[in-house]
């Protein structure tokens, strides 16, 4: 199988990830419950992961790194910490349901800062117009549908000027694009452990500037007589038993990424995406959604095949060993903004482990399908 659905989850991972998880399952129990050797090994691994992530994302204090089950969990914490019913929130037109659904459930007044696809300047201007009166803003760094890299630093600067707290959804950029949490000045940054960070499913992180409101209440291992959750991070947001094998795997993955360097990974995925686009550019049956010069696009591209619905394309590709995703990608807002809501798209997303040979094979099969 040629796996081109890394935007959903990373499939190929560094071998150290599985090894670390196995080691954790053999030698680690639960941190924060006892002080015997297997509990302390678990505790040390969890802290090591926090410290590595703090270094990776330029977070001043490892205590600001909170472990969650996934990015959706992290986003829910951030959203519910900043907003209540009726509050105005500004979002980009490319947000995932992990952002729009919690906002809708909360009863927030959602203001979409609409801008055309791959138009960073228009996107910044749309945020500038929309921010007055907002209680918070939420913005994805990279669209999970189109790979569009939004102008996050400019948007963050606008939010700081307007004193509007910003939540960043880094689901498609963490581990791939450089992210400096301290310099960005965002209040929260959410990311899954299992996509660009190459860790296991069941892991996610929330980077917090200050404290936040707990989403889940329960045991934290200390001060058990208190009825309230601790009032300090990270324990305030981490009730219940940690996913220690997951965190051990995530630690191994982050260490691997630190050795590789995000710039190297970005260059590799950019090269694969450029090759894919070049192979398909002349095919009149295929409509590619790409940024001119690929300057504001990550290693992810969506397309439509004329005369064939996306699910059929994905199914036929799957029968021939090419794994992709079709449909709305849990981001109907992005499709609405780009004009693809009716049909959806077929999405091809790349990883550090894909090769040029795989891309050539995939585009050859796609070309054959699209005749």
Partner 1 sequence: MFYLLLCRSLTYAQRSARFLERKGMTAIVIKAPPAAAANGCAYALRIAARHYPYALELLQNSGLSPMRVFALENGELREVSP
Binding site for partner 1 (CB under 8 A): 31-32, 34-35, 40, 43-44, 47, 50, 62-63, 220-226, 230, 232, 234-235
Compare residues 195 and 236 and give the one whose CB is closer to partner 1. 236
CB of 221 to partner 1, least distance (A): 6
Of 125, 69, 44, nearest to 92 (Cα)? 125
Strand pairing category for 345-349 and 325-327? antiparallel
Contact 141, 155 (CB under 8 A): no
Compare residues 47 and 323 and give the one whose CB is closer to partner 1. 47
CB of 56 to partner 1, least distance (A): 18
Compare residues 43 and 313 and give the one whose CB is closer to partner 1. 43
Q: How far apart, in Å, do the first and last CA atoms of the chain sit? A: 22
Compare residues 169 and 238 and give the one whose CB is closer to partner 1. 238
Of 41, 50, 39, nearest to 20 (Cα)? 41
CB of 31 to partner 1, least distance (A): 6
CB of 299 to partner 1, least distance (A): 35
Q: How far apart are CA 130 and CA 88, in angstroms?
A: 10
Around 229, how many Cα atoms within 13 Å sit in the side-chain half-sphere? 17
Compare residues 42 and 265 and give the one whose CB is closer to partner 1. 42
Question: Under 8 Å CB-to-CB from 82, ≥6 apart: which residues?
Answer: 135, 136, 165, 167, 187, 188
CB of 65 to partner 1, least distance (A): 10
Compare residues 65 and 126 and give the one whose CB is closer to partner 1. 65
CB of 289 to partner 1, least distance (A): 44
Compare residues 237 and 296 and give the one whose CB is closer to partner 1. 237
Task: Provide the H-helix boundaries in the chain.
Answer: 15-27, 37-56, 71-82, 97-106, 120-130, 152-161, 181-184, 244-260, 262-280, 310-319, 332-338, 356-369
Residue 364 tokens, joined: 């050859």
CB of 63 to partner 1, least distance (A): 6
Strand pairing category for 286-289 and 300-305? antiparallel
Q: E strand or H helix at 168, and its extent?
A: strand 166-169
Compare residues 103 and 205 and give the one whose CB is closer to partner 1. 205
CB of 370 to partner 1, least distance (A): 54
Question: Under 8 Å CB-to-CB from 64, ≥6 apart: which residues?
Answer: 54, 207, 208, 209, 233, 234
Place of tokens 């680690």: 28
């Amino acid at each position: 199988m040629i796996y081109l659905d890394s935007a959903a989850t990373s499939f190929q991972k560094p071998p150290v990830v599985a090894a670390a998880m196995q080691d954790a399952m053999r030698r680690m129990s639960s941190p924060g419950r006892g002080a015997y050797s297997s509990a302390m090994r678990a505790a040390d691994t969890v802290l090591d992961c926090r410290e590595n992530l703090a270094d990776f994302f330029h977070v001043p204090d490892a205590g600001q790194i909170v472990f969650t089950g996934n990015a959706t969990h992290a986003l829910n914490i951030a959203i519910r910490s900043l907003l209540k019913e009726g509050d105005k929130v500004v979002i980009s037109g490319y947000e995932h349901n992990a952002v729009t659904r919690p906002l809708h459930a909360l009863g927030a007044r959602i203001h979409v800062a609409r801008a055309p696809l791959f138009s960073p300047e228009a996107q910044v201007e749309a945020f500038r117009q929309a921010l007055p009166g907002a209680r918070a803003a939420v913005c994805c760094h990279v669209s999970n549908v189109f790979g569009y890299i939004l102008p996050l630093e400019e948007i963050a600067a606008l939010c700081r000027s307007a004193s509007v707290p910003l939540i960043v959804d880094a689901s498609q950029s963490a581990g791939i694009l450089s992210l400096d949490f301290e310099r960005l000045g965002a209040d929260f940054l959410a990311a899954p452990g299992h996509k660009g960070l190459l860790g296991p499913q069941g892991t996610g992180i929330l980077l917090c500037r200050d404290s936040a409101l707990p989403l889940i209440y329960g045991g934290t291992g200390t001060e058990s007589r208190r009825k309230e959750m601790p009032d300090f991070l990270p324990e305030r947001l981490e009730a219940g038993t940690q996913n220690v094998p997951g965190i051990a795997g995530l630690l191994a993955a982050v260490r691997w990424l630190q050795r590789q360097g995000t710039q190297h990974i970005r260059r590799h995925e950019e090269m694969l995406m450029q090759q894919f686009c070049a192979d398909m550019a002349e095919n009149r049956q295929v409509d590619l959604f790409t940024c001119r010069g690929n300057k504001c696009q990550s290693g992810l591209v969506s397309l439509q095949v004329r005369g064939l619905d996306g699910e059929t394309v994905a199914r036929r590709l799957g029968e021939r060993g090419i794994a992709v995703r079709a449909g709305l990608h849990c981001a109907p807002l992005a499709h609405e903004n780009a004009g693809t809501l009716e049909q959806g798209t077929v999405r091809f997303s790349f990883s550090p482990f894909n090769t040029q040979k795989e891309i050539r094979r995939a585009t050859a099969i796609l070309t054959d399908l699209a005749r």
